Structure 1
Amino acid sequence: MKALLYITLFFCVFSCKETDKTQELEIEKEVISSQITKSDIANLKYAQFLLDSKTRNSQEFWQKYAELDDVVLRVNQADLSFFKENHEVLIAFIKDLIETIPEEINTPLINARLLALETQMLKLEGVVNLSNPEKKEVLLVVKDFLTAFSNLNLQINKKIEKESQNIVKPY
């Protein structure tokens, strides 16, 4: 009877340690799978529009746009640190971005693209600050953010292109 008790106790002790090891392995796999790499972001499929060189070369174009462009470059390098536990700075950045828009491109269409970009920035911040975000979900939100930025560039390019056309209207 004592032998049966010892065998049962021995079995319980060793079986508990094995489940702890498997749980540790699962946690390590989750941490590894949630890390975003530069190649993951490079593999995202979206229409990427760059700002026209005429606009980009302008010295006084839009200071906050240059900072936004830097944030996008860091996201393309898989550096999401700007969005991690930085809510007040992000809100101030978005507010400054919207308030300092140059008059020559301050149109409802561009303001709509800025609003979409703001939404995607806040969504990306929310997903990045989750305790255990899924890699697939983070990549989807990063793609949406990059698409919103690309659409802003496209709209600015269209505005500049339309203004540069000299269409003579007959009287």
Structure 2
Amino acid sequence: MKITAITLFLCSFLILGCSNDKKVTSDIEAIESHNNDNKITAKTIENIKYKDYALSPEAETFVVSWTQYQELSKQIGFLKKGDFSFFNDDVAVLQEFIKGFKASMPNEFRTNPITSRNAIIETALLKLNEYLTLDNIEKSDKILGIKEVFVAFSNLNYQINKKLERDMYNDIQPE
């Protein structure tokens, strides 16, 4: 009788033990696949659709001396390649950059449309920083944050081009 009870106990222990290992393995595999799905790659960023406005040659000459703009342009280029190092850094560093970006803006560009675009860029950068530094943010929200930065920067370029074009037409005198 004791041998039968011990045998039943060992068999049930082995059956329960074996099924438990499979569950742990599948849970680990599910977590690993979820982490891989949550990564944002350069290919993912390439697939973001938005209108990208580039600076005109005249505008390029005006922003050459605006070093903070050049730095932001370079960092957005890195972001397009999947490098998030600038955007998921400490928020104090990002705020200091934004402060310098607004302070170093050339006087020609201190108009309401361009100033408002700077405020939108500031908001988009801080929002993206929060999305990238928090762990519980969905991949789709992070991608949306990246798109907002691209659109904000593109719209700043558009407003700079528009302002310089308007100034050029105002300089033309009728004959």
Q: TM-score, normalised by structure 1?
A: 0.91
Q: Residues of 2 paired with 1:145 and 1:58: CA distance?
A: 22
Q: Across the two proteins, how many residue pairs are aligned to each other?
A: 170
Q: Residues of 1 paired with 2:126 and 2:62: CA distance?
A: 29
> What is the CA-CA distance between 1:111 and the residue it aligns to?
0.9
> Root-mean-square deviation (CA), in Å?
1.8
Tell me, which stretches of 5 or more residues in structure 1 are unaligned? none
- Give the alignment partner of residue 124 of structure 1, picking from 128, 137, 140: 128
Q: Residues of 1 paired with 2:122 and 2:63: CA distance?
A: 25
Question: Structure 1 stretches (4+) deviating beyond 6 angstroms?
Answer: none
Q: Aligned pair 1:27/2:27, yes or no?
A: no
Counting only pairs closer than 5 Å after superposition, residues 20-169 of structure 1 correspond to structure 2 as 20-58=24-62, 60-165=64-169, 166-168=171-173
Identity of aligned residues (%): 31
> What is the CA-CA distance between 1:16 and the residue it aligns to?
1.8
Corresponding residue for residue 14 of structure 2: 10
Larger-Rg structure? 2
> What is the CA-CA distance between 1:59 and the residue it aligns to?
7.0
Cα distance change on mapping 1:123 and 1:33 into 2, 3 Å: same
Tell me, which stretches of 5 or more residues in structure 2 are unaligned? none
